[in-house]
Chain A
């Protein structure tokens, strides 16, 4: 069609090229300019990243991402169900309100709320989870609204006719049929918590060190490219692995 083979190649290069030096640096012990490939391969970057505390930071990021996913996914699912029920008053307005965190810069919300959280003596961790959950609600709502809109309600009616309770319908009809959407919504919410930088920086005041904070600190220093690369990769690989798992859940559900 309009995009030629050459264009396809250029697009593939555009997508992949920024990640190439990341992969090479992660395994380089020595790589001084102008050599195209590292002169010495090794695990210096890994050792430096571990010494910087990458392990505990990754655990903190995973806990944060999980907490956000556990909170934002059911809230988005409930909202998505209500928005597609046809029974909600002013669904357009409600949807706009739920999407509003997408429009507002995260740093502005964190900055405004930080003062308030300090005054109300809310622990930084609680405030952080609250803020990131609100930031994740637009994503979970959009995904679950689309899923419920495509959901065939005759299944519900049949189950009810066969004597299922409302809760049994949710558990035995909705959950299995909507599993791919729930997984997708939870993944996006996890990503919000896992990869957040500026909200953690402002609300955590630098005391709560997650993986992105380590990446930011390492990347703003110079001469530690191997460490930056290892930290950056360890911030990317877990979500990519999750994405592959979720993709396989989706494929199994479609079969």
Chain B
């Protein structure tokens, strides 16, 4: 494609058009990351003399928080991916009921995660709606909110992100899946074979990409774990915000170290998933 024959947009004009968006993104993202990195290395203290040190990196228990954050993000994303795929299949099936399911699914999208967390609290707490529905006394209900296994936190992310994954995957499937599956059925493919060899390969790129987005989002999200999690150990965002808002100014470099770590993890996750998505595209 060249600019020839296109009215108006030349190379210089295209650059001018894109700059108003690129400049604030580069300035904000660049300045924020640089500032966090410098702060974590002791080079921009709020009080005292700047001095290069790794104290902030040594002082925080990063290892535990990294493992916890990765586990929550992986667990929630796994559930969201499976449920999201089935939701997408049900929505694109073309039955009359799939309209209703599509509406319900799209209504979940504008619900903020914070509201989802409040709702999950009312649903899963020991006097919540679910134990009442199942007729289980509060004393016998497992600690899903604030408990050992972060169930309520994982459930909230899985719930919200499954609708997001379904939206993306249904978009990718809707235009093509019906005709391909019909052809496969005419050729004698069974239900499972059609799913395995037609639907799944068609859905895979969108499924992988949306799962990666929701993993990275969950990894860096604060409010759900802060509301529904237990006080200790803390996932990375909760640790960072607590350190940053503490009255102890010496904790700020530690908060910055946690922020840099979380950003780096997110970046690595994106690069890894981009690579595997590319390999997937090459295989198909």
Contacts and interface: CB of A to CB of B under 8 A. Distances in A.
Contacts of B226: 216, 220
A113 interface: yes
A137 B24 contact: yes
Given A7-B86, A22-B118, A232-B115, A216 B39 contact: no
A108 B36 CA distance: 8
A107 B118 contact: no
Contacts of A16: 104
Interface string A97-113: 11011111111111111
Nearest to A15: B104
Interface stretch (A28-36, A52-60, A175-183): A28-36
Contacts of B107: 15, 240, 243
A253 interface: no
A87 B3 contact: yes
A253 B24 CA distance: 32
Interface residues of B, number: 105
B90 A105 contact: no
Interface string A11-43: 110111111111011000000111110000000
B119 interface: yes
Q: Is the interface of A mostly helix, strand, loop or mixed?
A: helix
Given A115-B46, A216-B227, A24 B25 contact: no
Contact of A137 (B21, B33, B105, B199): B21
Q: Which 9 A-B pairs have the closest CB atoms?
A: A105-B220, A112-B36, A112-B32, A195-B112, A86-B1, A21-B129, A108-B259, A82-B17, A87-B3
Q: Is the interface of B mostly helix, strand, loop or mixed?
A: helix
Interface in A217-238: 218-220, 225, 228-229, 231-232, 235-236
Given A8-B90, A105-B237, A236-B115, A88 B28 contact: no
28 contacts: A8-B90, A8-B101, A11-B101, A14-B159, A15-B101, A21-B122, A35-B132, A36-B132, A82-B14, A86-B2, A86-B3, A88-B15, A104-B33, A104-B266, A106-B222, A111-B244, A130-B24, A166-B8, A194-B112, A195-B115, A198-B222, A212-B114, A215-B118, A216-B226, A219-B121, A219-B227, A228-B121, A243-B110
Contact of B110 (A101, A191, A225): A191
A14 B29 CA distance: 37
Interface in A58-113: 74-76, 78-79, 81-83, 85-89, 94, 97-98, 100-113
A102 B87 CA distance: 24
Interface of B: 1-3, 6-11, 13-15, 17-18, 20-22, 24-26, 28-29, 31-36, 39, 44, 46, 83, 86-87, 89-90, 93, 95, 97-98, 100-101, 104-123, 127-133, 135, 137-138, 156, 159, 162-163, 181, 191, 194-195, 199, 213, 216, 219-223, 226-227, 237, 240-241, 244-245, 252, 255-256, 259-260, 262-263, 266-267, 270
Contacts of B44: 115
Nearest to B138: A33
A36 B127 CA distance: 11
Interface residues of A, number: 93
Given A115-B35, A235-B115, 7 more contacts: A74-B20, A82-B18, A85-B6, A104-B220, A105-B263, A225-B122, A229-B118
A107 B220 contact: yes
Given A112-B259, A157-B7, A195-B112, A104 B29 contact: yes
Contact of A134 (B25, B36, B87, B221): B25
Contacts of A225: 122
Given A3-B93, A22-B122, A112 B240 contact: no
